[in-house]
A and B are shown apart, each in its own frame.
Chain A
Amino acid sequence: MCIFFTACSQTQERVYSRFPTQQRIGYFDTLINFIGYAQDEDEFMQYTEIFFDTLGELHRLFDIFNPYEGVNNLYTINANAGVSPVVVEQPIIDMLQAAIGAYHMTDGMTNVAMGSVLRIWHEHRQRGIAHLDYGTIPYINDLMNASILANIDDIIIDVENSTVFLRTPGMSLDVGAIAKGFATELAMQAAIDAGMPAALVSAGGHVVAHGQPSARETWNVGIQNPDVSVGAPRVIDTVAFTDMTLSISGGYERFFEVDGQHLGHIIDPVTLMPANRFQQVAVLHSSSWMADILSTALFILPLEEGWQMALDNEAEVLWIDIDGEWFATPGYIRISAELGA
C-alpha cells in the first residue's frame, strides 16, 4: 500500500509505504505504538529512532519517580521543594508554562501542583492492585492536609535563568494530565521535521495522527469499550481523523476496588476523590497536550460545564456516563462510525 506525493517543481514522484508497527515499553508508564510511512525501511527506521529518542529524552525530563545522572528533571525539582530553584532544560519550562495555562483554562480541574495529593492516591492504588483484598481508601484528613500544598501559584518559573522553584516544602509536581500529550506532540514534530509524511502514534489511550495513510484521507482509530466484562464488544466506535489527537480518559486500566467501589486514577481536585461521573471521555483536539488536558478536565466536570469548555476550546468530545449513556458534540458525531450518518 503506497501513497504518492508529487512536488510541483519536480517531476520525480515519491512513493511511500507503510511499515509494521514499532513498539516501546519504558516511557510514560504505557505501551507506545508507532505506525509510519516512508520510502524504504531505512528511512522508516530513521523516523522511528528520531521519534523514540525524543520521547525517551522527554520521559527522563518529566519523570517524577526517578532521578537520572547528569539531568535535572521533575524529580530534582520536587526534591528541592522549599529549598532552592533548579536549573532545567527548556522543554520542562515550556511544559510547566503550558500546564499553568491549562490550570486556568480548566478552572483548576487539572493541577500539576497536586502531586502531594496524587502521591497518596498512587500509593493506595498500587497496594490495592497488588493485594486485591487489602485495598484501602486514603483518610480524607490526610488528603486535605496534602491539598494545602497544592497551590499552583507556588510554582515559580524564572524564564531568564531557566529555573523552576517550588516555594513550599513538601510540595510536589505531578504532570500525569499533560506530560504524555506534551511529549508525543514534540516527538511527532521531530519526526515530521525529518521528513516523515504520515504517522500514527498511540500511547495508552492517547492517539496522535499526522498526514494521510494510503489512499484514505484519514486514519481510522477504534475506541475500546470501557466495559471489559466477558461478552461485551471490544470496540464501541471508530473515528476517522488526521492532524489531530484523540485522548481518552477512563477508569478501565488504572483503577482499584475497595469493597466493590471502583476507584479510578483521575482525582477531582475539589472532592479529592476519584471522579466518577463518567466511564469514559474521548476528546479530539488539534493539539496533543490540549487533548490530554481536556480529557482529564472533562472526565471530572459535570456534562454541562464540560460541554461549554469543549465549545470554548474547539474540542470534539464523546462522553459515556456511568449508566452507559452517550453524549457527543456535533463534530464528534460527524467523524464517528457509530453515530455519524
Chain B
Amino acid sequence: MARKLISKNELLLIAVILLLAFGAYMIITWSSDDAVYARISVRNYPVVYLNLSENTEFTLPQNPNVRFKVENGAVAFIASDCPDQVCVRLGFLHRVGQSGACLPNWVSLVIIGAIDDEDMDILS
C-alpha cells in the first residue's frame, strides 16, 4: 500500500508546531505591545527600567534614601528623606506618560510603553 502523503502523527506534529509558533508569536506581540516600564533616572541619567508586572520593593544604590515599590502594575515613591514629600504624595503611577520626581534627590521617573490613540499623552 502506498504511503500516505502525510501520516496522522505527522499531521499532529505539524499542528503542534503551528500551535507553538502561534503561541510564541502571541507572547512576543503581547509582551512588546503591552509591557509597561518605569524608567528611573538619577541626575538625569537612566539607571533602571522596571517591568511593572513584577512586584518588588527596592532602593537605588545611587541613592538609598529614596524607596520605590512596584505593585499590581503600578509604581510609587514610598519613602524619601526630602523635606517636601511631593514624590511620596504622588502615590502609585500606572498610566503610560505619567511621571514624577523627587527634586531634592535628583531622582525622576516616567512610565513608558505603547500609547493607544485614545490614551492620555501626559498628566500635568
Contacts and interface: CB of A to CB of B under 8 A. Distances in A.
Interface of A: 1, 18, 20-21, 23-26, 29-31, 33, 35, 129-130, 200, 202, 205-207, 213-216, 219-224, 228, 230, 234-235, 238, 246, 248, 253
A190 to B, nearest CB: 19
Contact of A25 (B39, B91, B106): B106
B101 A207 contact: no
24 contacts: A18-B115, A20-B110, A20-B112, A23-B108, A25-B107, A29-B103, A33-B110, A35-B122, A129-B84, A130-B83, A200-B122, A202-B124, A206-B124, A219-B122, A220-B120, A220-B121, A221-B120, A221-B122, A221-B123, A222-B120, A228-B89, A234-B91, A235-B123, A238-B120
B122 A23 contact: no
B101 to A, nearest CB: 4
Please classify how large the interface on chain B is, using the bins under 10, 10 to 19, 20 to 34, 35 or more.
Answer: 20 to 34
Given A20-B39, A25-B44, A31-B101, A224 B124 contact: yes
A215 B91 CA distance: 32
Interface in B80-124: 83-84, 86, 89, 91, 95, 97, 99-101, 103, 106-108, 110, 112, 114-115, 117-124
A31 B121 contact: no
Contact of A222 (B39, B41, B84, B124): B124
A221 B44 contact: no
A31 B120 contact: no
The residue among A30, A33, A215, A235 with the most chain B CB atoms within 10 A of its own CB is: A33
Contacts of B97: 21, 35, 222
Contacts of A200: 121-122
A223 B121 contact: no
Contacts of A223: 123-124
A35 B44 contact: no
Nearest to B119: A220
A20 B95 CA distance: 14
Nearest to A204: B124
B124 A221 contact: yes
B103 A1 contact: no
A202 B100 CA distance: 11
Contacts of B103: 25, 29-31
Interface string B31-46: 0000000010101100
Interface in B22-56: 39, 41, 43-44
A18 B91 CA distance: 27
B122 to A, nearest CB: 5
Nearest to A232: B91
A271 B101 CA distance: 33
A216 B117 contact: yes
A23 B98 CA distance: 12
B114 to A, nearest CB: 8
Contact of A246 (B95, B112, B124): B124
Given A23-B108, A24-B44, A234-B91, A35 B121 contact: yes
B41 A23 contact: yes
A55 to B, nearest CB: 12
Contacts of A21: 97, 99, 110, 112
A191 to B, nearest CB: 17
Given A20-B112, A23-B108, A31-B100, A221 B83 contact: no
A33 B99 contact: yes
The residue among B43, B44, B100, B122 with the most chain A CB atoms within 10 A of its own CB is: B122
Given A1-B115, A25-B108, A30-B103, A207 B122 contact: yes
